[in-house]
């Protein structure tokens, strides 16, 4: 089986997704072969260069025409958030299967519309929450599902970066609510909300605080003209889960020294798990089944063939993997689901569940009350 792909977006995520398709062809021989047909961008020169660098067969700036091409099976949407809805709806109209970057929409209403449209059309859909497929995170899921940490009491997660701290940094699309939907909440918080759902189940209610530290930014480098920032720089959330667990979530782009600190801890009646993306090959596990004189956190290097998720496809035991492999694993699982007809998660339904939490967090930050996730 061969799958013909068109990718929309040429920058950071476009590069990551492009490498994933190439890597699947090289390292996952059982997966359908990927034909990287066309990459789509706004600037003709930059898009042509991206096609050359990322090894796509063609470059195009006509996204609607590409959506309706007969030689395209899957569309992969790596654009800013304001393009997700129109592109998803056009892909649905063209009966294409869809991979979409997160969060699914800029608003809850958009996410509902996209999810309903994809379901009605019967196309397959996948949301790129790639961190689920770090081997250590997938191992944490297995340990939880096996009952090895018992009843979950706590989930705490934080996603910290520092790239937005300079007041001289120009106004980017990520600072504009119309284009991005939200700031640190959707950009970073959506990832840890997805991990919370993946590991611990539904979030039922939230309370929250949000802050924008830099209210205006230059319209261009060294410009004296400023534009209002309309999204959050940081968010802190308290959560209640449907299973009775409680948790905390923190996302910020103002944590000096933190470059991509995506970390979580899960505490249960029989054990605890700790993960940090900045040390992504390791999972720390404490088990109450250990003898008292040797009880404590042990470090598992989640790169052992025959034992750990995805490790069989890569290098010798203990030879570490990187950020890019999470995208390769995601693409492989999606392609395998296309071929077999099996379920694949996270899909748009998971994205809608995530969007409901994002919506409730913004509502709670305004009301300063606990808000239900509806």
Q: Render pLDDT for 353-365 as a digit per residue (tens, 0 to 9).
A: 999 999 999 999 9
Structure token pair of residue 288: 């109450």
Span 256-280, average pLDDT: 98
Determine contact, residues 39/63, Cβ cutoff 8 Å: no
Predicted local confidence at residue 338, as pLDDT: 97
Q: What is the CATH number of the domain that holds 21?
A: 3.40.50.720
- 373 inside domain: no
Domain stops at, among 100, 129, 158: 129
* Same domain, yes or no: 13 and 143: no
* Same domain, yes or no: 112 and 140: no
The parent domain of residue 285 ranges over: 131-367
* Same domain, yes or no: 222 and 298: yes
* Same domain, yes or no: 142 and 281: yes
Q: What is the CATH number of the domain that holds 186?
A: 3.30.360.10
* Same domain, yes or no: 20 and 169: no
* Same domain, yes or no: 216 and 287: yes
Domain stops at, among 83, 110, 129: 129
Q: Give me the number of domains the chain comprises.
A: 2
Give the percent of the chain with pLDDT over 90: 99
Instruction: Tell me the pLDDT band of 20, cut-offs 50, 70 and 90.
Output: very high
Lay out the sheet containing 271-276: strands in order across: 298-301, 282-287, 271-276, 261-268, 152-160, 246-252, 234-241, 203-211, 371-372
Burial of 154 from C-beta contacts in 10 A (0-12 / 13-18 / 19+): middle
- 16 inside domain: yes
Predicted local confidence at residue 79, as pLDDT: 97
What is the chain's mean pLDDT, rounded? 97
* Same domain, yes or no: 54 and 152: no
Predicted local confidence at residue 288, as pLDDT: 97
Res. 1: pLDDT tops 90:
no
* Whole-structure pTM value: 0.97
* Same domain, yes or no: 218 and 156: yes
- 372 inside domain: no
pLDDT tens by residue, 192-201: 999 999 999 9
Predicted local confidence at residue 216, as pLDDT: 98
Cα–Cα distances in angstroms (integers) from residue 138 to residues 91, 130, 141, 253, in the given order: 30, 11, 5, 26
- 346 inside domain: yes
Predicted local confidence at residue 78, as pLDDT: 97
Res. 34: pLDDT tops 90:
yes
Domain stops at, among 129, 158, 177: 129
- 143 inside domain: yes
Predicted local confidence at residue 136, as pLDDT: 98
- 183 inside domain: yes
* Same domain, yes or no: 162 and 108: no
* Same domain, yes or no: 100 and 148: no
Predicted local confidence at residue 222, as pLDDT: 86
Predicted local confidence at residue 301, as pLDDT: 97
Structure token pair of residue 136: 């250590």
- 374 inside domain: no
Rounded Cα distance, 14 and 313, in Å? 23
* Same domain, yes or no: 87 and 183: no
* Same domain, yes or no: 229 and 267: yes
Instruction: Tell me the pLDDT band of 187, cut-offs 50, 70 and 90.
Output: very high
Classify 299 as helix, strand or coil: strand
Rounded Cα distance, 40 and 49, in Å? 11
Determine contact, residues 300/283, Cβ cutoff 8 Å: yes
pLDDT tens by residue, 138-148: 999 999 999 99
- 50 inside domain: yes
């Amino acid at each position: 089986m061969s799958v013909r792909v068109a990718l929309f977006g040429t920058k950071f995520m476009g590069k990551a997704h492009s490498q994933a398709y190439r890597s699947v062809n090289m390292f996952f021989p059982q997966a359908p072969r990927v034909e990287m047909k066309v990459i789509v961008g706004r600037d003709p020169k930059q898009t042509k260069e991206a096609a050359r660098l990322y090894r796509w067969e063609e470059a195009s700036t006509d996204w609607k025409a590409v959506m309706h091409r007969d030689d395209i099976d899957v569309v992969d949407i790596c654009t800013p958030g304001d393009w997700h809805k129109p592109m998803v709806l056009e892909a649905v109209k063209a009966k294409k299967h869809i991979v979409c970057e997160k969060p699914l929409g800029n608003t809850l209403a958009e996410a509902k519309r996209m999810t309903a449209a994809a379901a009605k059309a019967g196309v397959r859909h996948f949301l790129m929450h790639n961190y689920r497929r770090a081997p250590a995170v997938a191992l944490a899921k297995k340990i939880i599902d096996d009952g090895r940490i018992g009843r979950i009491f706590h989930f705490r997660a934080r996603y910290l970066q520092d790239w937005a701290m300079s007041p001289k940094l120009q106004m980017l699309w990520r600072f504009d609510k119309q284009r991005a939907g939200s700031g640190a909440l959707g950009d970073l918080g959506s990832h840890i909300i997805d991990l919370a759902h993946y590991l611990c189940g539904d979030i039922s209610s939230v309370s929250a605080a949000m802050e924008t530290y830099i209210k205006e930014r230059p319209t261009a480098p060294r410009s004296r003209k400023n534009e209002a920032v309309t999204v959050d720089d940081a968010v802190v959330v308290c959560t209640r889960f449907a299973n009775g667990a409680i948790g905390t979530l923190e996302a910020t782009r103002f944590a000096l020294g933190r470059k991509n600190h995506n970390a979580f801890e899960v505490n249960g009646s029989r054990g605890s798990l700790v993960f940090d993306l900045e040390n992504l090959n390791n999972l720390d596990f404490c088990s109450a089944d250990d003898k008292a004189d040797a009880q404590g956190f042990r470090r598992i290097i989640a790169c052992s063939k025959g034992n750990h998720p995805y490790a069989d496809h890569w290098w010798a035991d203990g030879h570490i993997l990187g950020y890019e492999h999470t995208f390769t694993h995601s693409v492989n699982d999606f392609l395998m689901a296309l071929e077999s007809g099996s379920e694949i998660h996270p899909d748009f339904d998971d994205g809608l569940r995530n969007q409901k939490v994002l919506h409730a967090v913004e509502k709670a930050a305004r009301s300063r009350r606990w808000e239900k996730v509806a």
